[in-house]
């Protein structure tokens, strides 16, 4: 149980209220409050991000900037329609109303669906802390984490060109199920169908969402078809360690990965999936 709850009304006040391991930033609270209730985390103080002005969605210069404290449910809007599949596969409505985009970047695997999607989008983070503000590519964030008392304030990315976005998540059940495997990709082809640019990110294969360099290298310059997509998935299943948890064994994840990679890349609609 925490002894104090702070509800700062600005980003600066959040930073001032954070106090190393004695306090915890809480955004939607779907993970942080559960950890406190279960006795796995015991901060002296909770610092809520909800009133700090860190929610909202803006577009400028062709880029989309989403405040870290924006609930997942608020991402349902026409200019973010490509994310509908990610949202539909995320928890259930009650969770989506509370869970935030920024909080998702800290979710342990096999959670972190938006981390996977945002890696494929090559997103960058706005970060604020006692030493000021900085920007960090999301891929670097997964390697370094944040410094003490820093918070993520926003997430920025370029929307994908029409027809280039892919998302597919293998789950044990339809609602409230973490990923067995999650695949996000941006794939561009030229007029002959040859892949000219590709970014693929995966969940369920490592300790945090990762890009798949072997799948990307295997696809670049190839014609996008069932054979090339399956081969890329098989290379990824050999390259990434995968892991065992209550949802699936590493063995099972390695078998699901090539199938879902192929289905994701070819854009197979769920209802017609072989
Ligand atoms: C029933 C259920 C189903 C779920 N289903 C899914 C799912 O399908 N997919 C999925 O990806 N996740 C799922 N989750 C996990 C979780 O709800 C999400 O990952 C959610 O996005 C976490 O965000 P939050 O705002 O609730 O984080 P919080 O619980 O508020 O915080 C989590 C951690 O992140 C830190 N943090 C939060 N925001 C910031 C910030 N801006 N800067 C610095 N640190 C910060 C906190 O200090 C804390 O350590 C599920 C959870 C539950 C309980």
- Which CATH number applies to 57-157? 3.30.465.10
**Residue found by looking up tokens 């706005």 in the block:** 126
Low-confidence ranges of the chain (pLDDT < 50): 271, 273-274
For residue 25 and ligand 1, the question of a CB distance below 6 A is answered with: yes
CA 171 to chain centre: 16
List helix spans (H) across the chain: 11-17, 32-37, 84-88, 93-98, 101-104, 113-120, 138-144, 213-219, 226-239, 250-266
pLDDT at 174: 84
Report which ligand 1 atom has the smallest distance to the Cα of 35: 29
pLDDT tens for 135-167 read 999 999 999 999 999 999 999 999 999 999 999
> Is any atom of ligand 1 closer than 6 Å to the C-beta of 70?
no
Coil/strand/helix, residue 182: strand
The pLDDT value recorded for residue 267 is 86
Query: Hey, where are the domains in the chain?
Result: 4-48, 57-157, 165-272
17 touches 8 (CB < 8 A)? yes
Assess whether the C-beta atom of 27 lies below 6 angstroms from ligand 1: yes
Domain 165-272, CATH homologous superfamily name and number = CO dehydrogenase flavoprotein, C-terminal domain (3.30.390.50)
What's the CA-to-centroid distance between 30 and ligand 1, angstroms?
Answer: 5
pTM: 0.96
* Three-point CA angle 71, 75, 78, nearest 5°: 160
How much is the pLDDT for 25?
97
Ligand 1 close to Cβ of residue 90 (< 6 A): yes
What's the gap in Å between 27 CA and the centre of ligand 1? 8
Those residues with Cβ within 8 angstroms of residue 18's Cβ, 6 or more apart along the chain or in another chain: 25, 47, 149, 151
Q: How far apart are CA 118 and CA 163, in angstroms?
A: 17
- pLDDT attached to residue 270: 52
């Amino acid at each position: 149980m925490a002894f104090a709850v702070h509800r700062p009304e600005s980003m600066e006040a959040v930073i001032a209220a954070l106090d190393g391991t004695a306090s915890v930033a809480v955004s939607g609270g779907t993970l942080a409050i559960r950890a406190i209730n279960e006795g796995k985390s015991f901060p002296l103080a909770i610092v809520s991000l909800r009133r700090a002005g860190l929610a909202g969605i803006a577009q400028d210069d062709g880029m989309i900037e989403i405040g870290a404290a924006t609930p997942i449910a608020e991402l349902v809007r026409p200019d973010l329609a490509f994310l509908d599949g990610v949202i539909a596969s995320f928890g259930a409505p009650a969770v989506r109303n509370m869970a935030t985009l920024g909080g998702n970047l800290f979710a342990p695997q096999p959670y972190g669906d938006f981390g996977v999607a945002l890696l494929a989008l090559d997103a960058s983070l706005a970060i604020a802390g006692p030493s000021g503000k900085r920007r960090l590519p999301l891929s670097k964030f997964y390697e370094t984490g944040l410094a003490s008392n820093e918070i993520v304030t926003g997430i920025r990315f370029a929307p994908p060109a029409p027809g280039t976005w892919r998302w597919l998540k293998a789950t044990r059940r339809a609602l409230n199920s973490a990923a067995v495997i999650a695949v996000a990709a941006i794939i561009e082809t030229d007029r002959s169908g040859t892949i000219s640019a590709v970014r693929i990110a995966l969940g369920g294969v490592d300790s945090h969402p990762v890009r798949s360099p072997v799948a990307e290298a295997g696809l670049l310059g190839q014609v996008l078809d069932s054979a090339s997509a399956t081969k890329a998935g098989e290379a990824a299943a050999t390259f990434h360690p995968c892991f065992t948890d209550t949802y699936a064994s590493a063995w099972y994840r390695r078998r699901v990965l090539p199938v879902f990679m192929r289905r994701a890349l070819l854009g197979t609609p769920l209802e017609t999936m072989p």
